[in-house]
Amino acid sequence: MKFFYSLTLLLLGMAGYGQENPYWFSDDIKKKLEDPAQNQSWKSQMGATYYSISGQYKQALESWDTTFGRVKKLDPADSLKFTRLIPINAKEYILEKAVNEQIIIINEAHHNARHRTFASSLLQGLYDKGYRYLGLETLASDSLNTTKFATLNSGYYSQEPEFGNFIYNALKIGFKLFPYEAEGNNKEREIGEAKNISDYMQNNKEGKYLIYCGYQHAYEGTHKSWEKTMAGRLSDLTGINPLTIDQTQFSEKSNPKYNEPLLRIVNNTFPVVLKDEKQVIYNGEDKILYTDIKIIHPTTKDVKGRSGWMLAENRKLYKIPSSEIPNYPVLVLAYRKGEFEQKGIPADIIELNTSKDSRFLILNKGEYEIVIKNKEYKVINRFEKMIR
């Protein structure tokens, strides 16, 4: 995993936390990645991140899998064991467990926006159970506790629409957000992150904690390069054993052949965790480096040309009138009213190359300003829309 975290730091440096336009047309992303001198695996990861930030979920998965897609076979004995596992609603299980926890750590794959949507779905239930603080690895500062929404300067991964929605929902519910990123890499970074969280906890004791991170930061046990991860080191510093949750291992890939065999066996329609006949939760085969819970997300089903999982909670489909699109191709960005001029994060983005493309945005209730940009990234139309 050293490679992934070096990439994270590179992306943060490239972004400078002040990039004017991180939302690109797909063919411009392709051009940016065409440098033959670049290592293919770097291009794969960077491309996945760029596509994700620009709201292109499928392309993000495809870019990642050009390097990391693997066809995995299942041992017959494991297949028999897995078929005996019982799926239960992941959100309900986590909220039930949250009552007796003090710290919950849940991870994401940085190119997979779906993970942020699920984490956001937990927020109200966690707040109702006493959780008051949300630590985000990507944040550059805690200034958004004042602005009440994320901006392009808030962080790097938080420029992605679903991450922006996650932050917006947390602030609206009443969470206090804080950054905990640390300099360095490998062991040094894990120690720094854990210390930053622990120090913050010493000064903010009126509530429980949700920590959101990337990949193996959430794992407990022994890591080959880090000895202990952020989660393990935080436990040592605080004396609190966190509830650790992994969303990454059993996430869908761009092609079903790359999916984990367990994902194919479960065939669920909503996020689940698995338990056996003794009510023991399945947390993977690796008992050296592990999390308490493994979430199995279902494969995506499209609705009106958009990823169906985006229709979470009270979100609605809104079709852009063709009369509002002067010409093609365009990027259509939906901002909460008043946030566009303040360099806020769009609530949704779609790229339209022809009049035949699906013109549906997926938005929560509220007032929006719809911004339409042409191929030169110039605003060619703006209009307001109330989603009821």
Q: Note the pLDDT of residue 267.
A: 85
Q: Which residues, in sequence order, are bridge partners of residue 157?
A: none
Domain ranges for the chain: 2-68, 76-294, 306-387
Residues 157, 111: Cα–Cα separation, whole Å: 9
Bond preceding residue 36 cis, omega within 30 of 0:
no
Q: Would you state the torsion angle of the CA atoms of residues 325, 330, 335, 341, taken in this order, to the nearest 10 degrees?
A: -100
Residues 354, 135: Cα–Cα separation, whole Å: 41
Q: Which residues, in sequence order, are bridge partners of residue 107?
A: 213
Q: Encoding tokens for residue 77?
A: 């004995």
Q: For the segment 208-236, what is each residue's pLDDT rounded down to a tens digit? A: 999 999 999 999 999 999 999 999 999 99
Q: For the segment 234-274, what is each residue's pLDDT rounded down to a tens digit? A: 999 999 999 999 999 999 999 999 999 998 889 899 999 99
Largest CA distance in the chain: 61
Q: For the segment 373-388, what is each residue's pLDDT rounded down to a tens digit? A: 999 999 999 999 999 9
Residues 321, 332: Cα–Cα separation, whole Å: 12
Which CB contacts under 8 angstroms, 24+ apart, belong to 187-194?
187/225, 187/226, 187/227, 189/5, 190/217, 190/223, 190/226, 190/228, 190/229, 190/230, 190/233, 191/233, 193/137, 193/217, 193/230, 193/233, 193/234, 194/230, 194/231, 194/233, 194/234, 194/236, 194/237
Pick 306-387's CATH classification: 1.20.120, 1.10.287, 3.20.20, 2.60.40.
Answer: 2.60.40
| CB neighbourhood size of 31 (10 A) | 11
Architecture of domain 76-294: 3-Layer(aba) Sandwich (3.40)
- Which residues touch 237 (CB under 8 Å, ≥6 apart)? 194, 195, 198
Spans in the chain with pLDDT lower than 50: 1-3, 5-6, 9-10, 12-18
* Ramachandran angles phi, psi of 317, nearest 5°: -80, 135
Q: Note the pLDDT of residue 8.
A: 53
Q: Note the pLDDT of residue 313.
A: 80
- Beta carbons of 65 and 45 less than 8 angstroms apart: no
- Beta carbons of 290 and 219 less than 8 angstroms apart: yes
Q: Encoding tokens for residue 271?
A: 């996020």
